[in-house]
Structure 1
Amino acid sequence: MTDPTTKATPFARCDHVDHYLFAVQPDIPLLDALEHASVYLSCAEALAHQAPTATRPEHIVSLRWASQQMLGTARSLVQASIDGLHAAQPGDDA
């Protein structure tokens, strides 16, 4: 059995069409995907903490938006990893 890898996982749905802007690519080693997810979560947390103390309203909005985008990316990396683990289970045809 080979080491489990990510499954393709689209994310960041476009507002006006039924498409996604980005996707976690398949066959990424899970450790790599989860390390990236951890970095994205740390950055999102840092931005979320900075947003309330921003002095300009447009900075608050930008910091919150960036934090949300990082959270969505991290969530997709984790989901792609979970899906890859499930697919690697013996007897799973996914």
Structure 2
Amino acid sequence: MTEPTTKSTLFARCDHVDHHLFAVQPDIPLLDALEHAAVYLSCAEDLALQAPNATRPEYTASLRWASSQMLGTARSLVQASIDGLHAAQAQGDA
């Protein structure tokens, strides 16, 4: 089996159009991608925990938005890693 790497994974769909703002790049080693996903998840959790205690309402909304964006990025990194692992396994079976 070849060393698994990420597959290109689009995320952050634009409103009202069929385009994405970002993509996980292909061929990133899975450990690197998953480590980054873990950092994004940790930061998203921290922001979500801070949101209810924000001193101003607009801070609460910003913290929730930032947390949501980090969760979407982490989800995409994990999906790109899963897709890369499946592709590497399929190559090993061929």
TM-score above 0.5: yes
Q: Which has the higher helix share?
A: 2
Normalising by the residue count of structure 1, what TM-score does the alignment of the two structures yield? 0.95
Identical-pair percentage: 84
Count of residue correspondences? 92
Structure 2 gaps, min length 5: none
Q: Deviations over 1:23-62 (max 9, x none)?
A: 0000000000000000000000000000000010000000
Q: CA RMSD in A?
A: 0.9
Calculate the TM-score normalised by the size of structure 2. 0.95
Amino acid at match of 1:72: G
Whole-Å separation in 1 of the counterparts to 2:17 and 2:32: 31
2:93 pairs, out of 87, 91, 94, with: 91
Any gaps of 5 or more consecutive residues in structure 1?
none
